[in-house]
Amino acid sequence: ETGVTQSPTHLIKTRGQQVTLRCSSQSGHNTVSWYQQALGQGPQFIFQYYREEENGRGNFPPRFSGLQFPNYSSELNVNALELDDSALYLCASSLPPEGGGGRFETQYFGPGTRLLVL
């Protein structure tokens, strides 16, 4: 168990709808990253949040947006859902070394939310 939880576990939506996915980070982790994983493919980086601000973004359109809250939990919002948005959505939390000490920052993944768009 990584201590990272996601909700809901499964979700079915129709095209054009909006969806909000939630993630609770591992205790003490102030950074959260979101990934989209289509069936049979590797995870694709969507964006990262650090202390409530976006800190890097992958090649996803603006209809993918996020929030990070003061308790470091996070939301992923997707507007105007398309069929190709059907995927496993993963969040990962991490704790950057303070003061820049050390390079390694391990991400711990949650179990994911399976989204199906019909």
Partner 1 sequence: LAKTTQPISMDSYEGQEVNITCSHNNIATNDYITWYQQFPSQGPRFIIQGYKTKVTNEVASLFIPADRKSSTLSLPRVSLSDTAVYYCLVGDIRRSSASKIIFGSGTRLSIRP
How many of the chain's residues bind partner 1 (CB under 8 A)?
Answer: 34
For residue 75, count CB atoms less than 10 angstroms from its CB and return exposed for 0-12, middle for 13-18, buried for 19 or more. Answer: middle
Q: Please name every residue paired with 109 in a beta bridge, in sequence order, or none if there are none.
A: 92
Q: How many CB atoms lie within 10 A of CB 34?
A: 25
Provide the mask over 28-67, with x wherever binding to partner 1 is found by CB under 8 A and - wherever it is not: ---x-x-x-----xxxxx--x-x----xxxxx--------
State which residue, 16 or 56, has the beta carbon closest to partner 1.
56
Determine if residue 62 is left, alpha or beta; phi over 0 gives left, psi from -120 to 50 gives alpha, anything else beta: alpha
Provide the mask over 11-30, with x wherever binding to partner 1 is found by CB under 8 A and - wherever it is not: --------------------
Task: Point out which span in 13-21, 62-70, 77-85, 90-98 binds partner 1 (CB under 8 A).
Answer: 90-98
Q: What are phi and psi of 99, to 5 degrees?
A: 75, 10
The DSSP 8-state label assigned to residue 96 in this structure reads: P
Q: How many CB atoms lie within 10 A of CB 79?
A: 13
State which residue, 24 or 107, has the beta carbon closest to partner 1.
107
By CB under 8 A, name the binding residues for partner 1: 2, 4, 31, 33, 35, 41-45, 48, 50, 55-59, 88, 90, 92, 94, 96, 100, 103-112, 114
